[in-house]
Amino acid sequence: MIAKLTGRIEALEADRCVVDVRGVGYLVQASTRTLAALPGGALATLLIETQVREDAIALYGFSEPSERDWFRLLTTVQGVGARVALNVLSALSPRELVMAIQSGDKGSLTRAAGVGAKLAARLLTELRDKAGAMPAEPGIAAPPPLAAGAEADALSALLNLGYRRQEAHAVVGRVAERLGERAALDALIRESLKELAR
């Protein structure tokens, strides 16, 4: 199995690239995020996930270990093949994926090509317990999930006021930590609005 390739990026396309390793060109499929980070015509290293099927051997490349780990996890979900997993990773960074799953943000997941409402719901259900242990991005810890009750209600109120889910989720989490677990709903909303207004 191929786990890593280091070579010259000979060609870049919308969803794949050719990596020339000492005269052998490897066709590697990747997310738009990984492809955008590759230097055309220069040396680069890609982490590789190799999938062997009856009719083909496919190589999937990643610039970061966190993206590769998410690819592996996403493809364990029924209905998510390699192509859909790459689409999800093109639409959302590992950090955004963690936040979307922990906050139950179905809308963010459906931004990925090939992910409808049913598949997004399945991803949220099957990955909710695993998302917190997944890597977000190097050096960035994933935000803790919001507790049910006042925190979830405060998040809902902010969403109804038009704030984006990821921004509101992070602010409510910080305010709830600062005010303590017995904070009242009105205090959570008031302090979150103050922080969002800055």
Ordered DSSP codes for the chain: ---EEEEEEEEE-SSEEEEEETTEEEEEEE-HHHHHHS-TTSEEEEEEEEEE-SS-EEEEEESSHHHHHHHHHHTTSTT--HHHHHHHHHHS-HHHHHHHHHTT-HHHHTTSTT--HHHHHHHHHHHHHHHTTS--BTTBPPPPPPPTTHHHHHHHHHHHTT--HHHHHHHHHHHHHHH-TT--HHHHHHHHHHHHH-
Residue 141 has pLDDT above 60, yes or no: no
Residue 9 has pLDDT above 90, yes or no: yes
**CB-count burial class (<10 Å; 0-12, 13-18, 19+) for 198:** exposed
Instruction: Identify the pLDDT of residue 132.
Output: 64
Worst-scoring range by mean pLDDT, 55-64, 97-106, 142-151, 184-193?
142-151
Q: Mean pLDDT across the stretch 3-32?
A: 95
Residue 151 has pLDDT above 70, yes or no: yes
119 φ/ψ angles, rounded to the nearest 5 degrees: -65, -40
Q: What is the mean pLDDT of the chain?
A: 86
**How far is residue 50's CA from residue 62's CA, in Å, rounded to a whole number?**
12
Q: Mean pLDDT across the stretch 109-134?
A: 87
Instruction: Identify the pLDDT of residue 194.
Output: 85
- pLDDT tens digits along 42-80: 999 999 999 998 999 999 999 999 999 999 999 999 999
